[in-house]
Amino acid sequence: MKLLHQCGHCTTWNLAAFDQDDCGDGLIFSPVHESRARLEALPPEMRKVSFFDPQYYLPNSQKSKLHSYDFFPEVIAAGFSTADYYLVALKSARLCIEFQVEQEYDRVVIPARYFSQMDPDYTEKQAAYTVLPFLKEAGRQKVKKPIYLTLPLTSHMIENATYRTTILNWVTSFPEIAGIYLIPDYARPTKQVLSKSFLDEMLKLLTEVQEVGLKVTVGYSNTESLLYLLTGDIDITMGAFENTRMFSLDKFVESDEDRRGPKSRIYLPGLLNWIQFNEAKSLQSADAKLWAKVYRPTRFGDAALKQAMEPTFNQPVLYRHYFIAFAEQVAALKKLTRLDRYNTIRSWLKNAISLNEAISDIPIDFERHGRGDHLQQWLHVVNRYYTGHLKS
């Protein structure tokens, strides 16, 4: 079981947390945010415990850093079109695999295109687009590293048992594939996942994947990834900005639109949630004993709370604090059996619900993303998973 950094904008924060704070077991590098030269300059010992996500999700992306990789579809096809790309898919596979092997990453990742709809030809298109060319090239190059298949799935795909089973059966038809790099795309208006049905089906999917002998890394997840550890020793991720904790195509699209930065938030492990920084400070001032139950002191969190000015979303302190606090929670679960993980997560959830009630009694009312609406839903999910999969 590994905790990996989902790198994005400001990868230097992830590198510093990994190298200086001993946070995480490796990193997932993002070519849309890091040029080829930048990744090639990283220390070999860092690359050996990490992997590269080729990010073919939007093959005609105009993002400049993606264009520093000679195997990216828009580059190699000199202007992407599906019909033309099939003619150069094998060359793209050869160059992409050579890069991953030369850089000594811990695995070779087969990229995939993102489809927003439940395309009946999903598996056929992915096979022709990348899977068959990459497996052919991996065989020719005699790749020794484990081969993982990127699997971007929308919430509708995940929640449709028949569609999900078809995809899983397809993946297992390739004996060369050791695992999947699962990218769940669940569009939502809230920062935490509220859908019980989505989480129920995610836990089923992760269980099914492991039962057929595949390893799994779940990318682009927020705090809900703690629940995924109920299914076994899978790899999960943590990211700084929100677009590394939930998947979207936005980062692959060129835009001139100015966007307002979000309000800064601090991760409070006792609440299993990110709270607006000014509201967290109000809680700290109002009740020191309650604050001690929700906050995990770190040098970064302490420094942020002592600043005269509220830290902005694009400063590292609150993310470095999060990496330490979240990694500690994952480490606590890592050493436990699945049954003991259930008992621990259930205890965390019930405690967080109780703490939110105490905060409301002060009275302090967090805004809608911070008020903990997800906690009771998650408690239902873990209890159902216990009854269906863990109870002897």
Residue with the two structure tokens 């990459």: 134
Cα distances (Å, whole numbers) of residue 384 to 119, 169, 231, 275, 347: 30, 25, 13, 28, 15
- Give the CA count within 13 Å in the CB-facing half-sphere of 291: 16
Cis ω on the peptide bond leading into residue 363 (within 30° of 0)? yes
Please give the Cα distance from 276 to 45 (Å, whole number): 37
Residue from 300, 297, 304 nearest 281 by CA: 304
Please give the Cα distance from 91 to 376 (Å, whole number): 50
End-to-end CA distance of the chain: 24
Residue with the two structure tokens 């996942």: 193
Measured in degrees and rounded to the nearest 5, phi and psi for residue 215 equal: -85, 160
Please give the Cα distance from 301 to 162 (Å, whole number): 45
pTM: 0.96
Cβ–Cβ < 8 Å for 304, 324: no
344 burial type by CB count under 10 A (0-12 exposed, 13-18 middle, 19+ buried): middle
Cβ neighbours for 196, distance < 8 A, ≥ 6 positions apart: 377, 380, 381
Positive or negative torsion for Cα 47, 51, 56, 57 = negative
List residues bridging with 177 in a β-sheet.
147
In which order are the strands placed within the sheet that holds 3-6? 51-52, 26-29, 3-6, 236-238
Cβ–Cβ < 8 Å for 138, 81: no
Cα distances (Å, whole numbers) of residue 76 to 37, 70, 92, 251: 18, 6, 7, 21
Cβ neighbours for 285, distance < 8 A, ≥ 6 positions apart: none
Please give the Cα distance from 101 to 98 (Å, whole number): 5
Q: Residue 258: what pLDDT?
A: 56
Domains of the chain, earliest start first:
3-252 (3.20.20), 265-390 (no CATH)
Q: What is the pLDDT of residues 41-53, one digit of tens each?
A: 999 999 999 999 9
Dihedral, CA of residue 39, residue 44, residue 50 and residue 52, to nearest 10: 30
Cα distances (Å, whole numbers) of residue 55 to 31, 145, 225, 326, 345: 7, 19, 21, 26, 33
Would you tell me how many other CB atoms lie within 10 Å of the CB of residue 39?
Answer: 22
Cα distances (Å, whole numbers) of residue 340 to 2, 153, 213, 228, 349: 18, 30, 23, 14, 14
One pLDDT digit (tens) per residue for the chain, 392 residues: 999 999 999 999 999 999 999 999 999 999 999 999 999 999 999 999 999 999 999 999 999 999 999 999 999 987 887 777 888 999 999 999 999 999 999 999 999 999 999 999 999 999 999 999 999 999 999 999 999 999 999 999 999 999 999 999 999 999 999 999 999 999 999 999 999 999 999 999 999 999 999 999 999 999 999 999 999 999 999 999 999 999 999 999 977 555 667 899 999 999 999 999 999 999 999 999 999 999 999 999 999 999 999 999 889 999 999 999 999 999 999 999 999 999 999 999 999 999 999 999 999 999 999 999 999 999 999 999 999 999 87
- CA angle centred on 34, ends 92 and 259, rounded to 5°: 115
Would you tell me how many other CB atoms lie within 10 Å of the CB of residue 377?
Answer: 18
Q: At what angle do helices 196-211 and 373-385 cross, to 10 degrees?
A: 40
Q: Residue 259: what pLDDT?
A: 62
